[in-house]
Structure 1
Amino acid sequence: MGINPAIVQNIAERVRAEVLPQRAASALKLDPAIIQKIAQKVPIFSGMSQPCLLDTLATGEHFTVQAGEAVFREGDMGNSFYVLIAGDVVVEKMRDGKPVELTRLGPGECFGEMALVGNDVRSATVRATGSLVAMRFYRELIDANPESASAIYRNIARILAGRLGESSLMLADLKKRDSAA
Structure 2
Amino acid sequence: MDDRRIELLQCTPIFGAIQARALEVLLGGTVNVEVPAGAHFFHEGEAANAMFVLESGRVAVVKRWEGVDHHLRDLNAGDCFGEMALIDMSPRSASVIALEDCSAIRLTNADLFRVYQADLEQFALIQMNIARELSRRLRIANERLFVVDLEPRSRGEPEAGFTNT
TM superposition score category, shorter chain reference: 0.7 to 0.9
Considering only aligned residues, what root-mean-square deviation do their CA atoms show, in Å? Answer: 1.6
Partners of 1:39 and 1:47 within 8 A in 2: no
**1:131 Cα deviation from its structure 2 partner:** 0.7
Work out the percentage of aligned pairs sharing the same amino acid: 31
1:63-110 CA distances to partner (integer Å, 9 max, x unpaired)? Answer: 111111110000100111110001111111111110111111111111
> How far apart are residue 35 of structure 1 and its match?
5.9
Displacement, 1:180?
2.1
2:83 corresponds to:
113
**Aligned with residue 139 of structure 2, among 165, 168, 178:** 165
Instruction: State how far apart, in whole Å, the 2-side matches of 1:76 and 1:93 are.
Output: 13
Q: Is the 8 A contact 1:84 1:106 kept in 2?
A: yes
Give 1:180's match in structure 2, choosing from 151, 154, 158.
154
Q: Deviations for 1:4-50, whole angstroms, at most 9, x for unmatched residues?
A: xxxxxxxxxxxxxxxxxxxxxxxxx334xx36633541222112111
Which amino acid in structure 1 is aligned with residue 34 of structure 2? T
Cα distance between partner residues in 1 of 2:6 and 2:113: 22
TM-score, scaled to structure 1: 0.77
Q: Given that residues 25 and 114 in structure 2 are in contact (C-alpha distance below 8 angstroms), is that contact kept between their aligned partners in structure 1?
A: no
Residue 77 of structure 1 aligns with which residue?
A: 47
Unpaired runs of 5+ residues, structure 1, are 1-28
* Equivalent residue number for residue 12 of structure 2: 42
Which residue is equivalent to 2:112?
142
Residues 1:30 and 2:2 are matched in the alignment: yes
| Contiguous gaps of at least 5 residues in structure 2 | 156-165
Go from structure 1 to structure 2 and tell me whether the alpha carbon gap of 1:35 and 1:90 turns closer, same or farther (over 3 Å shift). closer
2:33 equivalent to 1:63: yes
* Runs of 4+ with deviation above 6 angstroms: none
Q: Is this contact kept in 2: 1:43–1:108, CA < 8 A?
A: no
Number of residue pairs the alignment of both structures matches: 151
Distance 1:70 1:35, change over 3 A: closer
Q: 1:68·1:130 contact (CA, 8 Å) conserved in 2?
A: yes
Taking structure 2 as the reference length, the TM-score comes to: 0.84
Residue of structure 1 equivalent to 2:100? 130
